[in-house]
Structure 1
Amino acid sequence: MPLPSPVLDPPFTITRASHVVLDVADLTASRRFYEEVLGLVVTLAEADTLYLRGVEEACHHSLVLRRRGGPARCARIGLRVLTEGDLDKAQAFFAGRGCPAARAEVAHQGPTLHATDPFGIRLELCARMPTEPRQITRFHRHRGGSALRIDHVQLLTPHLEAALGFYTELGFWLTEYVGGSAEDIRAVFLQRKGNPHDLVFFNGDGPRLHHVAFMVPETQHLLRACDIAGELGYGRNVERGPGRHGPGHALFVYFRDPDGHRVELFNTHYQVMDLENEPVRWDPHDPAVAFPWGFPARKRWFEEATPFEDTEVQPAAVRPNPMTLERYLAEGS
């Protein structure tokens, strides 16, 4: 797979990953988890919808939870564009690619473009939201992991090479990739806001949402979130970590919410906003990359993910075969 060069004049301007819209069964249970364990701030609670944001976020929401019956689903992945004029350009772009795209008025974010990319990922583009007071210095309001802000979304797709080309055309820069070589890529990390990633794509059955990730201030907040999870009966929802990633070297912990949606908290990043920064290759066969601390993740971390609403999941042509905890223990590695 040839590595793409950055597109400096994309058809419209995306600034960052903005928000995620998830369907849940019980808003009360979900609120308890996201507010008390992760430390998100409730901006607005309606009868069937909950809007949350990080403690340093001013925009109205970075996570929307909708009460719905049936299996847990992801409704939309939110992307911010620079101006409302970019919504017009985006609609023309998606229509030109034969992708569904329609304008909508969405509560608490105004003019919005609902689009579906060529791989079935349901997107929601908006240019603005109402602002709220940042809670970063309201220390008495900080709870659990004190989640600061949304950082990135990780997705599974059986069309990894095509997704890389499509989102590079939209102005995303490739910052990191996982693979034995440029011809054997398992995952790609794409950014718009200047740190390593806004969107991450792994090869796998999809499209599915693997996780949404929020930054926290310090390492202690990862541990505090785990302690609060254990105290409130969510101990088994701590799925992976605390640990350290090989790619990026971030400290992390992964949770599953009451509906099974996966959320990551992590606390470190580096800057990659200059053109001379070449994409970093991470070798998946190097244990220092795959699991630098302790044991690899359980099989379910690699295979389980949230489907998109009204979207068929397609199998990957090449089945991923990562080192899982189960395999690691069975082989006596």
Structure 2
Amino acid sequence: MDFNIIRVARTILNVTDLNRSREFYIDTLGFIETESTDTHIYLRGLEEIHHHSLVLQKAEAPSVEAISYKVSNDKDLDALENLFTAKGLKTKWMDKGSQHAMGRALRTQDISGLPVEFFHEMNQVERLLQRYDLYKGSRVQRIDHVNCAVPDVQKAHDFYSQELGFSCSEDTIDEDGKLWACWLHRKHGVHDHAFMNGVGPRLHHIGFWLPDPLALIHACDVLAALGFAHSIERGPGRHGLSNAFFLYLRDPDGHRIELYNGDYLTCDPDVGPLHWKLDDPRRQTFWGAKAPDCWFDEASEVLDVHTGEVCRMKEPLLKKKKPEFII
């Protein structure tokens, strides 16, 4: 391939009340505020050396503007434009200066209709990994992954693996041998981008890495103490898939955040993918607890990178059989 995608690096969320979002992400969960304006808040984790990994953007309605990947070299952006254009996917350039603290970026609607962005340059800031005096709330370290609902998981899997160079760590296969969900990675963790069968395109959640499992428990205590107990949607628990500890939260606009710790290395190409059967209940929660219906049914709408309108959603090709088996 003529390009190298390093990792998922940021997301841009449209939110309706920046003050309420500030209370949730900064005062409660402990995200680091790099900068803010009347219309934007730029956040990062304690480990991160780049300007931000999460943008909260004031808007009339909640939605997702972009899911962003960092690439190795600025020339990779031109190679990616050539690829998307050859596949009939229209691209859009975000010039340097049009986005705060970043160089130029390439946006497109991917094969599933998700708004994706690729960039190389972002301003660097102080890494706060050993500023333990700033460890508050969930003690969030870094962005880890995104999970998206799409109508055709096999189509998404094939494009990301064959055209973009992603590898599959784990997947879920139904009784007919159809691909129900997949976990794809560029960095050496379980996933940068997961795809799950569902109405889409939609962003199901953004996962952020915590320093240890106890940080999840502490986050629950802080959420409850500050009046955000209602934001706890699912967990804490341990996934079968990925083996990680998890806690799912809903922010004031309904965007879903996963606090995450404890998956495994995937750098050895001889390992994986690990296949799970759809009817194995340990996939979603290794300890056996089922997820609430809202976890399956609700997700964030995404925007068209060219029109700014909410993308039209499609029903999944594979129909639900037992919702409690979906992860």
| Structure 2: distance between partners of 1:289 and 1:203 | 15
Query: Equivalent residue for 1:320?
Result: 320
| Structure 2: distance between partners of 1:67 and 1:287 | 39
Query: Equivalent residue for 1:122?
Result: 115
- 1:216-269 Cα distance to aligned partner (Å, 9 max, x none): 011111011111111111101100000110112111100000000000001102
2:101 aligned with 1:108: yes
| Structure 1: distance between partners of 2:300 and 2:322 | 20
Aligned length: 315
Deviates more, 1:22-31 or 1:289-298: 289-298
- The 8 Å contact of residues 177 and 281 in structure 1, kept in 2 or not, is answered as yes
Which residue identity is paired with 1:63?
L
2:167 aligned with 1:202: no
Which residue identity is paired with 1:65?
L
* 1:292, distance to aligned residue in structure 2 (A): 2.3
Query: Equivalent residue for 2:157?
Result: 164
Query: Equivalent residue for 1:73?
Result: 63
| Structure 1: distance between partners of 2:27 and 2:296 | 27
Which residue identity is paired with 1:84?
D
| Structure 2: distance between partners of 1:100 and 1:55 | 36
Which residue identity is paired with 2:69?
L
Query: Equivalent residue for 1:5?
Result: none
- The 8 Å contact of residues 296 and 323 in structure 2, kept in 1 or not, is answered as no
Residue 233 of structure 2 aligns to a residue in which SS? Answer: strand
Residue 104 of structure 2 aligns to a residue in which SS? Answer: strand
Residue 29 of structure 1 aligns to a residue in which SS? Answer: helix
Structure 1 residues 228 and 203, CA, compared in 2 at 3 Å: closer, same or farther? same
Which residue identity is paired with 1:48?
T
Deviates more, 1:235-244 or 1:278-287: 278-287
> 2:81 aligned to 91, 99, 110, which one?
91
Query: Equivalent residue for 1:255?
Result: 249
Which residue identity is paired with 1:192?
R
Deviates more, 1:33-42 or 1:234-243: 33-42
Which residue identity is paired with 1:320?
K
> 2:40 aligned to 34, 49, 53, which one?
49
- 1:119-163 Cα distance to aligned partner (Å, 9 max, x none): 211011100211111111111111100010000000000021111
Which residue identity is paired with 1:298?
P
- The 8 Å contact of residues 14 and 81 in structure 1, kept in 2 or not, is answered as yes
Residue 213 of structure 1 aligns to a residue in which SS? Answer: strand
Unaligned runs of 5+ in 1: 1-9, 326-333
- The 8 Å contact of residues 37 and 226 in structure 1, kept in 2 or not, is answered as no
Which residue identity is paired with 1:227?
D
* 1:322, distance to aligned residue in structure 2 (A): 3.6
- The 8 Å contact of residues 296 and 323 in structure 1, kept in 2 or not, is answered as no
Which residue identity is paired with 2:107?
H
Percent identity between the two aligned chains:
36
Structure 1 residues 134 and 322, CA, compared in 2 at 3 Å: closer, same or farther? farther
Q: TM-score, normalized by length of structure 2?
A: 0.93
| Structure 1: distance between partners of 2:73 and 2:176 | 35
Structure 1 residues 234 and 145, CA, compared in 2 at 3 Å: closer, same or farther? same
How do 1:1-333 residues align onto structure 2 when only pairs under 5 Å count?
10-70=1-61, 72-105=62-95, 106-168=99-161, 169-180=163-174, 183-309=177-303, 310=309, 311-324=311-324
* 1:181, distance to aligned residue in structure 2 (A): 6.2
* 1:183, distance to aligned residue in structure 2 (A): 2.1
| Structure 2: distance between partners of 1:182 and 1:188 | 16
- The 8 Å contact of residues 191 and 198 in structure 1, kept in 2 or not, is answered as yes
Residue 199 of structure 2 aligns to a residue in which SS? Answer: coil
- 1:75-96 Cα distance to aligned partner (Å, 9 max, x none): 0000111110001111111111
- The 8 Å contact of residues 11 and 170 in structure 1, kept in 2 or not, is answered as no
CA RMSD of aligned residues (A): 1.5
| Structure 1: distance between partners of 2:281 and 2:89 | 40
Residue 102 of structure 1 aligns to a residue in which SS? Answer: strand
